[in-house]
Structure 1
Amino acid sequence: MTGAQVDPLGSGDPATLGRYELLGRLASGGMGRIYLARDADGQLVAVKTLLAEGVVSDVERRRFTREVGLAQRVDSTFTARVREAAPRAEKPWMAIDYIAAPSLSELVRTAGVLPASAVQWLAAGTAEALVTLHGEGIIHRDLKPQNILLPLPGPRVIDFGISHANDLTRTSLTLGTIAFTSPEQARGEPSTEASDVYSLGATLFHLALGRPPYRADSDTLGLLAQVQRGQLDLDGLPKELTNLIRPCLAADPAERPVPAEMLARFRQSLAGLPVSQGGRRWLPPRWTDLIGAYERHGRDLARGAGIGVGDTGPVGVAGDQPTGVVPPPGPTLVLPEEREQAERAERERAEQADRAERAERERAEQAGRAARERAQQEQALRARERRREEERKKQQKKERKRAQQEAERQRRERVENEERERAEKEAARLRAAEARARQRASRTPAASASAGLSPRTDRPAPRPAPPRAPAPTRSGRGSAFVTWLVVLSVVALVVWLVS
């Protein structure tokens, strides 16, 4: 095998897309084609187009635009980097780094299984790719050996775009996909990050034993039933890989580790060993030989050679010899019934994508409404708390005012009582003085008669001591006036009696 299959361009293929010169076809399917292309600097890229032939519908353009957006958010050494994209062009396209490397499925099929240490090394690189994807909110949903390429620097996870934006259905599952699908996906349930972890565990098991973690005596439906039940067959799994792979294959998604834990565990296992991230330190020679053949083929492609070379066998063939270009294939006859079925299936996939997109929007709107309702409830609660605090302060102010008024009333009552007591004492003193004056008056006429003196001319009448004016008080003019009136009345009475 000299490298990836690159077929020549057909008559309907464009010669360029953007600034990239198309060299040949890498893959073709119902949703579009992937071309091998080269920029002005001689760098190879894989250009993915949406429907190389035909009119692009609005639904398909939206899906492709979403795929481009997802891919551009990912920036990791262990994924293929998006260089440029034109989702709104007449023929939408996206240029991705071309990785001249075999897939894990081809390596296992051609070069055999891996030792435990190499499996751990590949687990670390793939887990790091998942850490990046999950950090951007992207779930791969179809992680399997076919979607992991392996150049010598480390694994590269590919194909995490729009083709897997919706959960896989039972009708779209193939035997190669079912073997690496999580139980919840096989049951038609939504995929989560834990689903990717399960697929990673099944992929690692395949690298170590060359088979899926299920019994091999089942057809497609039988295998699907095993996956749905989580009915595993882990016989032959090396002990040093049990703690790595078995937790990933837990039937309950909550019991599976997260990729960051797997990555930390691998790094911890490297403590004290020579630091080397390259594949030559971990991979057996038969694997590195095949990877080297792909690298040489990639260099040939960059020079323009090797177009049309197919996968002729498991043995690496020198790719430095120039080869001719395979003539374009003849037209393929398609029966009307098959074309109608393909178109109907494509419409159904587009409708499913639209339904999934609408459901996603509805979930986002529901989440937004729920967030707004929570914010409104919190705002109303804060407003009620503020009103209660204001009412409490008003009540405290009223209580303080009532207390002040009550203290003032008690003070006035105390002053009035004191004034009343003083007035009563003064009146009692005046009454006592009046009584004494009457007594003297009753004795004075008899003494005067015995002496032959007139009581009116003998001596002048004694003047009574002027009454003391009461001290002014705050009880008001009314009470002072009454007091003075009483005092003057008593004085007038005493003067009249004496005179």
Structure 2
Amino acid sequence: MAGARVDPPVHGDPATLGGYELIGRLASGGMGRIYLARSAEGQLVAVKTLLAEGVVSDVERRRFAREVELAQRIDSAFTARVRDADPQAELPWMAIDYIAAPPLSELVRTAGVLPASAVQWLAAGTAEALVTLHGEGIIHRDLKPQNILLPLPGPRVIDFGISHANDLTRTSLTLGTIAFTSPEQARGEPSTEASDVYSLGATLFHLALGRPPYRADSDTLGLLAQVQRGQLDLDGLPKELTALIRPCLAVDPGRRPVPAEMLARFRQSLAGLPVSQGGRRWLPQRWTDLIGAYERHGRDLARGAGIGAGATAEGITVDQRTGMVPPPEPTRVYTQERERAERERAERERAERERAERERAERERAEKERVERERALLAQERLREREWQQELERRKAENKDRERAEEKARERAARARARQHASGPSSASAGAASGTSRPSSRPDPARTPPPAPAPSKASSAVVWLVALAVAALLVLWLATWV
């Protein structure tokens, strides 16, 4: 049958603590041991004591007294309450409600996931517990499915502010803890009320899908890295739960809702519905069957039955019953065996290396092409520069040839004018000596303009015609005188 494992007392166990009769051992772990006990009125309680060798030290006693003080400040229908305690006894002890109910972790593992309406109902009860804790200045620091028990009236939060007080040693991180830890806690930063809200969102996701909100192919360190970065995998989350769960899993603590907002939203959604808040209205039959089995086992324990190995059933550990610090869980992979996870991780690493090598080769090829393009452009630029330089030299040579030709023409013209100037005076002297007054055929260049250019052949013909005409007229004139 389902129920908590209760072993008979062993030699050296006390018979009573305070007014409670110890009837069996629930478990031992961390710094404490948990006994199942019965009060004089027949009420079952879980009594926590210190695991101390010989005399309890002052440091251990003060630590235990701090646990008691924190736990006694909370009185809520959604938490496991402290009934009695004596931190100053020779063996300090604390009596806590014994809740005969399975934890959410076992319910999901054994009875499957929940519909959206049942997740919302559980979210409201857990949020109400957090409202009470935060109102007293207590941060849970380790909210997870193992630390929420579920009797039919509603969820009960355990292990709050006791094993995780600031002056206490924190438990070792395992997959079962890391998967529900906030990013800031995973980075070693201080826990806040918003850290509890993140853990609640991860727990609700687990109830709806049966897995944490991360990829399931990582070992402890891989999962821790995902949590630190807030690298979520929310595939499959029902749409009707997105508005409830997604804001709780915000990486920035300031963007997460406060538990009071979640509780108010749920109560608003119940407007006009029947007032019954019991689990039978919200939970599927397979869940209520397991819860009922735990209740029956609790009644057997109250009668003194169900103690010993023959009455053992799997599922409940010491933190699920009383909030005690659990021993570190074995490192495991949630949905795959380690070898398969390691093999797949090696495949991913190889694929990543190949991809990186391809990218490197592509970058080198692109760089080589870029260099070749730049070289080709540089060569073209140099060729254009040489062509332009050659054209410039050619134009300079043409200009020099033209200037030399013009210079030679000017020199020839100057020599011609010099010859004309030199021949003019000698002609005039010869004319005067002969006694003729005929004008010189070479006029003085100082008084006359330079000679006109030689006439063309057509002009010469016209001149001869005119001369012949003049000669004919002269002959006719002479004839008239004779």
Give the TM-score taking structure 2 as reference length: 0.64
Which SS does the other structure have where 1:90 is aligned? coil
Name the CA shift for 1:180/1:11 in 2 (closer, same or farther; >3 Å): same
Partner of residue 150, structure 1: 150
Partner of residue 266, structure 1: 266
Which SS does the other structure have where 2:7 is aligned? coil
CA deviation after TM superposition for structure 1 residue 15, in Å? 0.6
Residue identity opposite 2:228 in structure 1: Q
Partner of residue 136, structure 1: 136
Partner of residue 462, structure 1: none
Give the TM-score taking structure 1 as reference length: 0.61
Name the CA shift for 1:120/1:110 in 2 (closer, same or farther; >3 Å): same
Report 1:192-231 matches (<5 A).
192-231=192-231
Per-residue deviation, residues 182-234 of structure 1 (Å, max 9, x unmatched): 00000000000000000000000000000000000000000000000000000
> % of aligned pairs identical?
91
Q: CA contact under 8 A between 2:164 and 2:170: conserved in structure 1?
A: no
Partner of residue 37, structure 2: 37
CA deviation after TM superposition for structure 1 residue 63, in Å? 1.0
Name the CA shift for 1:256/1:117 in 2 (closer, same or farther; >3 Å): same
Q: CA contact under 8 A between 1:9 and 1:25: conserved in structure 2?
A: yes
Gaps of 5+ in 1: 316-344, 346-499
Which SS does the other structure have where 1:84 is aligned? strand
Which SS does the other structure have where 2:100 is aligned? coil
Residue identity opposite 1:105 in structure 2: S
CA distance in 1, matches of 2:168, 2:221: 15
Which SS does the other structure have where 1:47 is aligned? strand
Q: CA contact under 8 A between 2:24 and 2:36: conserved in structure 1?
A: yes
CA deviation after TM superposition for structure 1 residue 272, in Å? 1.2
CA deviation after TM superposition for structure 1 residue 2, in Å? 2.4
CA deviation after TM superposition for structure 1 residue 10, in Å? 1.2
Q: CA contact under 8 A between 1:148 and 1:158: conserved in structure 2?
A: yes
Partner of residue 232, structure 2: 232
CA distance in 2, matches of 1:202, 1:65: 32
Which SS does the other structure have where 1:2 is aligned? coil
Bigger RCO (CA 8 Å, 6+ sep): 2
Per-residue deviation, residues 386-414 of structure 1 (Å, max 9, x unmatched): xxxxxxxxxxxxxxxxxxxxxxxxxxxxx
Residue identity opposite 1:148 in structure 2: I
Residue identity opposite 1:5 in structure 2: R
CA distance in 2, matches of 1:310, 1:15: 22
Residue identity opposite 1:250 in structure 2: A
Name the CA shift for 1:310/1:71 in 2 (closer, same or farther; >3 Å): farther
Partner of residue 83, structure 2: 83
Partner of residue 440, structure 1: none
Residue identity opposite 1:261 in structure 2: E
Residue identity opposite 1:19 in structure 2: G
CA deviation after TM superposition for structure 1 residue 285, in Å? 0.5
Gaps of 5+ in 2: 316-327, 329-482
Name the CA shift for 1:171/1:9 in 2 (closer, same or farther; >3 Å): closer
Partner of residue 374, structure 2: none
Residue identity opposite 1:51 in structure 2: L
Residue identity opposite 2:21 in structure 1: E
Q: Which range moves more in the overlay, 52-61 or 10-19?
A: 52-61
CA distance in 1, matches of 2:24, 2:311: 15
Per-residue deviation, residues 417-447 of structure 1 (Å, max 9, x unmatched): xxxxxxxxxxxxxxxxxxxxxxxxxxxxxxx
Q: CA contact under 8 A between 1:84 and 1:95: conserved in structure 2?
A: yes
CA deviation after TM superposition for structure 1 residue 169, in Å? 8.9
CA distance in 2, matches of 1:20, 1:230: 46
Q: CA contact under 8 A between 2:5 and 2:313: conserved in structure 1?
A: no
Q: CA contact under 8 A between 1:167 and 1:188: conserved in structure 2?
A: no
Name the CA shift for 1:171/1:91 in 2 (closer, same or farther; >3 Å): closer
CA distance in 2, matches of 1:221, 1:62: 34
CA distance in 1, matches of 2:90, 2:292: 38
Partner of residue 189, structure 2: 189
CA deviation after TM superposition for structure 1 residue 97, in Å? 1.0
CA deviation after TM superposition for structure 1 residue 166, in Å? 3.4
Report 1:118-129 matches (<5 A).
118-129=118-129
Name the CA shift for 1:221/1:96 in 2 (closer, same or farther; >3 Å): same
Report 1:33-432 matches (<5 A).
33-51=33-51, 53-166=53-166, 172-309=172-309
Which SS does the other structure have where 1:60 is aligned? helix
CA distance in 2, matches of 1:199, 1:284: 24
Residue identity opposite 1:264 in structure 2: A
CA deviation after TM superposition for structure 1 residue 55, in Å? 2.8
Q: CA contact under 8 A between 1:81 and 1:97: conserved in structure 2?
A: yes
CA deviation after TM superposition for structure 1 residue 168, in Å? 9.7
1:9 counterpart = 2:9: yes
Partner of residue 420, structure 1: none
Q: CA contact under 8 A between 1:12 and 1:53: conserved in structure 2?
A: no
CA distance in 2, matches of 1:108, 1:301: 25
Name the CA shift for 1:311/1:260 in 2 (closer, same or farther; >3 Å): farther
CA distance in 1, matches of 2:311, 2:237: 31
Q: CA contact under 8 A between 1:13 and 1:52: conserved in structure 2?
A: no
CA deviation after TM superposition for structure 1 residue 161, in Å? 3.7
CA distance in 2, matches of 1:52, 1:106: 31
Residue identity opposite 1:128 in structure 2: E
CA deviation after TM superposition for structure 1 residue 29, in Å? 1.1
CA distance in 2, matches of 1:290, 1:37: 24
Which SS does the other structure have where 1:127 is aligned? helix
CA deviation after TM superposition for structure 1 residue 123, in Å? 0.3
Which SS does the other structure have where 1:162 is aligned? coil
Q: CA contact under 8 A between 1:170 and 1:188: conserved in structure 2?
A: no
CA deviation after TM superposition for structure 1 residue 162, in Å? 3.0
Q: CA contact under 8 A between 1:34 and 1:47: conserved in structure 2?
A: yes
CA deviation after TM superposition for structure 1 residue 311, in Å? 7.6
